[in-house]
Amino acid sequence: MLINFKFKNFRSFKNETVLSMQATKDDSFKGLNTFFVKDGLLPADENELLKSVVLYGPNASGKSNVLKGLRYMQSAVILSSIIIPRSKIQENETFAFCADCEKKDSMYEVDFIQNDVFYRYGFVVNDGKVVKEYLFKRVERLVNVFDREQNSIELNGVSKEATKLIRLDSRTLFLSIARIYVLSPDLMKAILDTMTWFEKLLIVFEETVNSFSMYEQNNNKYRNEALQIMKMADLGIKDFKVYREDITAPDFGFNSLLQIEQNSNGLKKIDLKTIFNVYDEHGKQVGEKEYLMLRQSDFNSEGTKKLMFYLGWILHSLDEGRVLLLDELDSKLHLLLADYILKSYNSISKNMKNAQLISTAHNLMLMDGDMRRDQIYFTAKNEIGISSLHSLSDYKNVRKNDLFSKKYLLGFYSSVPDFNRE
């Protein structure tokens, strides 16, 4: 589970920015939209976490960049050991509208819980090189697991002579390569817990490879759950199944990488075959028709296609208690459908493993649903292009029964486009 994500000098965010999943003292929807972590993992007054957070703001204000910041951190952790042709560390994107920001440090840090242990992991990069990297865990107090400065590292319980055997590359995070070394069980557990947390983190943008194959997992459990949701949404789809087809050389011109799956049998085209009932003029069912969702795209709406792209990830997250970052939750989806997804996370029965959802959105009516003030974030961009991120709970004189959307549109939260400015 995620507690805090902190970053600095990334894309439109020049200054240190924090997205927190820690609940405030607001008692709204306590135990429904929030959950308590195991005793001892966090201080008693900080052990309540949020199940969901939604980010609002004008176009190009930086909403998606918050998600992209954590996506960059994840990719750097998992892939920075691959330095040919280019390391992920070298792909760091600093704040663009600053004369010298390319030469300044970028920082990324997460607080999280994995296997009932609190961890804090972070790194600092500058000009494509690792400047600092560290990992802490809480055992009654914060204990340093390892601390790296440039290409020098200290590991808890390991002598300086032994650490000299560790070869560090300025383009690679130690966390990415630590598993190749023989370390103590305690050190290795902390490192593996941290790697596992990043590997299980789900970050989904519209261009992300689709989740169609997930519908076959757990004896079609996700498929059956998705079908129930589709029927509730009245999409007209009777059934669906995953469809695969071999790729031959002449086929390679089809239009989207979203349709490619690689497995032990090579590359396959993957799609969903949606099944509709056919009726006669008296309303009696007389047959069925099948349409491929992607290749025969005119027969399914853009909203239906997006729902089927996202539902696999959503159901997977809820089933396993994973953190899911989802860009544009409400884009192309009916308000009630987007609200249903949000409420599934803010639920005891549907979210029994305390999965967390972090999403961007534009539909303000989601803001006025059963949401706490600390679950609503706003992004804004100033006149020189610097984005900022603030929780609704940061603002004074905001009551829990306020109509948040109305005050937002009136500019109370300083995060709406100003069309009167010349």
pLDDT digits (tens, 9 = 90+) for 59-115: 999 999 999 999 999 999 999 988 777 888 999 999 989 989 999 999 999 999 999
Helices (H), 271-368: 302-320, 335-345
The ranges of the chain with pLDDT < 50 are: 250, 252-255, 257
Asked if residue 349 and residue 267 are part of one domain, the reply reads no
Q: What's the pLDDT at 254? A: 47
Asked if residue 145 and residue 12 are part of one domain, the reply reads yes
Q: What's the pLDDT at 418? A: 60
Asked if residue 274 and residue 385 are part of one domain, the reply reads no
- For residue 375, is it within any domain? yes
Asked if residue 341 and residue 296 are part of one domain, the reply reads no
- For residue 269, is it within any domain? yes
Cα–Cα distance for residue pair 370/17, rounded to 1 Å: 26
Asked if residue 79 and residue 23 are part of one domain, the reply reads yes
In 3D, which of 366, 254, 272, 349 has the Cα closest to residue 311?
272
Asked if residue 330 and residue 193 are part of one domain, the reply reads yes
- For residue 316, is it within any domain? no
- For residue 115, is it within any domain? yes
Cα–Cα distance for residue pair 75/82, rounded to 1 Å: 11
- For residue 36, is it within any domain? yes
Cα–Cα distance for residue pair 87/84, rounded to 1 Å: 7
Q: Which domain holds residue 219?
A: 210-311
Asked if residue 188 and residue 97 are part of one domain, the reply reads yes
- For residue 272, is it within any domain? yes
Asked if residue 97 and residue 1 are part of one domain, the reply reads yes
CB 56 within 8 A of CB 63: yes
- For residue 263, is it within any domain? yes
- For residue 317, is it within any domain? no
Q: What is the pLDDT of residues 14-54, one digit of tens each?
A: 999 999 999 999 999 999 999 999 999 999 899 999 999 99
- 3-state secondary structure at position 135: strand
